[in-house]
Chain A
Amino acid sequence: MSRGFNKLLDAVVRIDVREFEFEAGARHFASSIGSGVILSDDGLVLTNAHVASPRAVEISVTLASLERVRATLVGWDHWTDLALLRLDLADIQRRGLKFTHAEFGDSAKLSVGETVFAVGTPYGLTRTATRGIISNNDRYFEDARGVNGYETGTFNTWLQTDAAINPGNSGGPLVTEDGRVVGINARAYAGADNLGFAIPANIAKRVVDSLVRNGTLVRSYIGLVPRELQDLESFYALSLNTGLLINNVDRDSPAARAGIRAGDVLLAINGVKVDGRFPEQLPPIQNLIASQPVGTVLKLTMKRGAETRDYTVVTEKLESRIGEEWEFEKWGLSVRKVSRTFARENQLPDSAGVLVIGVQPGFPAGVTGISNGDIISKVNQQPVESLDVIKRVYASYDAKPEPVLVEVLRNRQISLYVLKP
């Protein structure tokens, strides 16, 4: 193999993560193994968001030398399934450990049929390289719950490869023969023969830049859900390769407030024509909107029936459906803040309240009849506008256990429960 490839092998690491889960109404720990690739001399490691998330309490990285080093999470971006870690450099220097780092290639230059290698830790088998080709370099693959329940794939397409990708490969690099990183392996169809998917390096580069600088990647949101126009051009009286069909406009979103409706066709954004004829053309258009700074004024040229007109929308910050999570151990209760997106999807009147995601049998919440999926809207008659409201009530219960009145919304039905010490 090339010198570059051998150098790359020394930059691929195994990642062991211990993270907590809220699902059972108590803090439980789970361990998992993934892969990663070192990007810089100062110890930045790129992996998947579904390998290392803010739930991680302990991340340990095994270098090519088989030495283990602690790492911390710099930031994550579930939309692209990427997370960035930083190695404990002080420890590395103290112990005199050495590592090399990999170089990105240009994923836009990949052609179908080109040989690529996946390197990683499938099933814990450290430093495994598998070989295949680029099967498709523009695969559309959106999954509303793909990264531990978080949304993914909305803003990027994927590289598809037949290089064997197995559980544990996640976060490892997809590389060309010269050892350049062209993708980060993320997912595969379970049970299929070598249908694996990787995030293209050119997407990853931008995400890494933002995570290094800000620890996060903020995106803009206007509330349009597109659909490919394929075969509907004649119905909408459009010439081919023109426009993007709006399948849904989120309630109370900037687009809805501007008057845009489902069934409208988006022709141009700030005068730049869009072409959403095929599904894989949707993510770049979505990304065009998302990559604007929050608060940007966009001019959307829309067609409705025979009429074409411009709408002005101001972008808002994109939010995940999944809000902050917390557990109240003495109640045997885990909750997640209701987000605006969750409220919208579930037709709740507003984003007040917390969603019950775990109940431990035999503890007060379970005993009184609260169950998963319930939304706690009030505690001791106070509206749960933030997690803090319920945390305060819990703190006083923790100090001095007294019955707590809980109002629960379950399928629009309001029930009252008492948490008894």
Chain B
Amino acid sequence: MKFFLGNVFSLFNAPLGRRGFVGARAASLGLLPTLMTLAIFPPQVRADDLPALWAERVKSVVAVEYYVETEIERRPSVAYGTVIDDKGTIILPSVAVNPRATPAQLKDFKVYRPGNPVSVAGEYLGQDALTGWHFVRAAESIRSELVPITKFAAKTPVEPALAEEIWGIGLRNKDEDFLPYLLSSRIALKQRLPQQMAIAQQEVAGPGLPAFNRAGEFIGLAASSFGQNYLQFSRDDRGGAPVILVNVEESGALLVADEVLPYLGRIPQNIFGRPLAWLGAYGLEPVDPDVAKFLKLDGQSAVVVSEVLEGSPAEAGGLKDRDILLAIDGKPLPRFRPDRAVVEYVGREIQKRRPGDAITFAVLRGEARVNAKITLGDQPKLLNEAERKYFDRIGFTAREFVYDDAVARRAKTGDAAGVIAHFVKPNSPAATAGLRIDDWIKEIDGSEVKTFAAAATQLATIDSDRARSETVLLVSRGAETAVLRVKL
């Protein structure tokens, strides 16, 4: 039994119009006719051509090493990437970077060619909201040795057929100089989630690395890997205990080439991936076929909007809580299996647009059918754009309160004052006093926090005043508040 973990299913929870962290994101490919696929089925290639194909294609993959520098530690991380142009641009899958890390915390990018211990510097360009890809650019010195994946794209789009044999590239770890190795398998299943995915019987490539058909044509990019269920038998547990093993180095799930190639131009204009289109409808939930039938929406896919956020374009455009979305710009929402994929489909429709673009939803509201025409806005400041400052003696990082904080805490955005405890250093005075990550600090020493700048100044004064023996914070957590006495 195989099933997806992480970046295929969990993404569908990403609230609409807000930034999701996405590995596999799809365009609506439409139903590519099978006959057509067969018509352009590659001519048989002799098996002994594979070494030659391999030698060329291995130049389009790299390993990328970088450090995440937090308040108290510096941790190396490695991801695999695929070269997309002759400027040394590399895409990494969304899971390559922990979403809690901010761009400013990502340091010292290095690019390694397979089997080569010598690295060159890389520059982090940011993340694209639609594809979820992180973009990195390798230093000029090795660009001539890299071959973009586009060079291996078929002239007309190819999609692997069920049972077709495919192969791809895996990379060993850093201590083995990221030596490349061959993986191969056959396509077992094709599914729209909502992007077209081709799922192989076994792992065919490292996550973020390409796979090819026997003709050497690029057929897809490996998404993050499967979790596989096993029963683990032991002397103590003869019945077997279920375990899930995730192969983080290889994957058998491919985002097909047509879900990759059209999007390679989405190189972020800035490190935060702006401009970002914003709708402001929160908590989209799919409508299952039984409910659709009950609501007389036979054969129709639909999505419930749980909340329309205060001050959002959705609110301005007249969308209401509990509206059921039926179509976008006249095009009915397609049906997916599982139903959940439709939520991601709607999210992608937003991210394909730009702030200022219009989008019209056909909506079921109670018994009535109405249209809501909405002009998409610009995303309010995101969590990872928020200002932050670490106070080492008190032992926590204060972060600016942004729109998403108000949403998460059900606060009116107008009352949004205070700062958030973004990080609390273990065993620090703040931690000992009971401060926790994500606590909302509303008062410092009895005076109300109005702006981040004022709080930062006040905290810096306290932090550096060796004569101070305590500071008192009023924090809000969930529905309650607490007075915390921080003994310095």
Q: Is the CB of B294 within 8 A of A249?
A: no
Contact of B479 with A232 in the complex, beta carbons under 8 Å = no
Do B283 and A414 touch across chains, with their CB atoms under 8 A apart? yes
Residue of A nearest to B443 (CB): A263
Q: Is the CB of B294 within 8 A of A405?
A: yes
Are B322 and A368 in contact, with the CB atoms below 8 A? no
Q: Is A262 an interface residue (CB 8 A)?
A: yes
Docked pose: A257 CA to B481 CA in angstroms: 16
Render B305-327 as a binary contact track against A, CB cut-off 8 A, 1 for contact.
Answer: 11100000000000001100000
Note all chain A residues with C-beta closer than 8 A to B287.
416
Residues of B within 8 A of A346 (CB): 479
Residues of A within 8 A of B282 (CB): 412
Q: Do residues B480 and A235 form an inter-chain contact, with CB atoms below 8 A?
A: no
Residues in A whose Cβ lies below 8 Å from that of B321: 414
A225 to chain B, nearest CB (A): 7
Which residues of B have CB within 8 Å of A405? 291, 294-295
Is there a chain B Cβ closer than 8 Å to A114's Cβ? no
In the bound complex, what is the Cα–Cα distance between A232 and B321 (angstroms)?
45
Distance of A368 Cα from B289 Cα, bound (Å): 11
- Provide the bound-state CA to CA distance between A43 and B221, in Å: 79
Assess whether B483 is in contact with A263, with CB atoms less than 8 Å apart. Answer: yes
Q: Contact check: which of A262, A347, A369, A418 meets B483 at CB < 8 Å?
A: A262
Q: Which residues of chain B have C-beta atoms less than 8 A from A227's C-beta?
A: 482-483
Given known A-B contacts A235-B485, A412-B282, A413-B283, A263 and B479 have beta carbons under 8 A apart: no
Interface centre among A227, A344, A346, A418 (most CB of B within 10 A): A418
Q: Are A247 and B290 in contact (CB under 8 A)?
A: no
Which residues of A lie under 8 Å from residue B366 when comparing CB positions? 381
* B472 interface residue per 8 A CB criterion: yes
A418 vs B321: C-alpha distance when bound (angstroms): 20
Q: Please, what's the 1-or-0 string for A344-383, where 1 marks a CB less than 8 Å from any CB in chain B? A: 1111000000000000000000001100000000000100
Indicate whether B285 reaches chain A with its CB closer than 8 angstroms: yes
Interface residues on A, range: 20 to 34
B482 contact set on A, CB distance < 8 A: 227, 247-248, 262
Closest chain A CB from B420 CB (angstroms)? 17
CB of B330 within 8 A of chain A?
Answer: no
For the complex formed, measure the closest distance between the CB of A89 and the CB atoms of chain B, giving whole angstroms: 47
| A235 and chain B: residue at smallest CB distance | B472
Interface contact B479-A345, CB-CB below 8 Å: yes
B443 to chain A minimum Cβ distance, whole angstroms, is 6
A414, B285: Cβ atoms under 8 Å?
Answer: yes
* Closest chain B CB from A188 CB (angstroms): 27
B474 contact set on A, CB distance < 8 A: 262-263
Task: Given A413-B306, A414-B306, A416-B304, verify A262-B322 contact (CB < 8 Å).
Answer: no
Chain A nearest CB: distance from B240 CB in Å?
22
CB-nearest residue of chain B to A227: B483
Q: A418: which of B285, B290, B410, B479 is its contact (CB, 8 Å)?
A: B290
- One digit per residue, 1 when the CB lies within 8 angstroms of any chain B CB and 0 when it does not, for chain A 82-115 equals 0000000000000000000000000000000000
Q: What is the CA–CA distance of A344 and B305 in the complex, to the nearest angstrom?
A: 23
B478 within 8 A of A: yes
Chain A residues within an 8 Å CB radius of B293: 418
Within 8 A of B (CB), among A326-349: 344-347
Q: Classify chain B's interface size.
A: 20 to 34
Are B483 and A247 in touch, CB under 8 angstroms? yes
B470 interface contact, C-beta 8 A: yes
- Quick one: given A347-B410, A412-B282, are A403 and B294 in contact (CB under 8 Å)? yes
What's the minimum C-beta distance from A278 to chain B, rounded to whole angstroms? Answer: 15
The answer to whether A225 touches B290, judged by C-beta atoms less than 8 angstroms apart, is no
Q: Which listed residue (B285, B295, B470, B472) contacts A413, Cβ 8 A?
A: B285
Q: Collect the chain A residues with CB atoms within 8 Å of residue B483's CB.
A: 227, 232, 245, 247, 262-263
* Candidates B283, B290, B480; contact of A420 at CB < 8 Å: B290
**Which A residues touch B283, using CB under 8 A?**
412-414
Q: Tell me the chain B residues, 274-293 only, with Cβ under 8 Å from chain A.
A: 282-283, 285, 287-288, 290-291, 293
Contact between chains at A247 and B485 (CB < 8 Å): no
A417 at interface by CB-CB < 8 Å = yes
Q: How far is the CB of A116 from chain B (nearest CB, A)?
A: 36
In this assembly, does B99 line the interface, its C-beta being within 8 Å of a C-beta of chain A?
A: no
CB of A373 to closest CB in B, whole Å? 15
| Residue B446 interfacial (CB < 8 Å) | yes
**Whose C-beta in chain A lies nearest to the C-beta of B482?**
A247
Tell me if A305 is interfacial: C-beta within 8 Å of chain B. Answer: yes
Residues of A within 8 A of B305 (CB): 414
* A245 to B472 Cα, complex, angstroms: 13
Q: Are B478 and A417 in contact (CB under 8 A)?
A: no
Contacts of A347 in B (CB 8 A): 410, 478-479
Contact A249 B481 (CB under 8 A): yes
A418 to B297, CA, bound (A): 14
The 7 closest A-B pairs by CB, nearest first: A262-B481, A413-B283, A414-B306, A418-B290, A416-B291, A415-B285, A248-B481
Q: A235-B445, A263-B481, A420-B290 are in contact. List 15 more A-B contacts (CB 8 A).
A: A227-B483, A235-B472, A262-B474, A263-B443, A345-B480, A346-B479, A369-B288, A405-B291, A405-B294, A412-B282, A413-B306, A414-B304, A415-B304, A416-B287, A416-B295
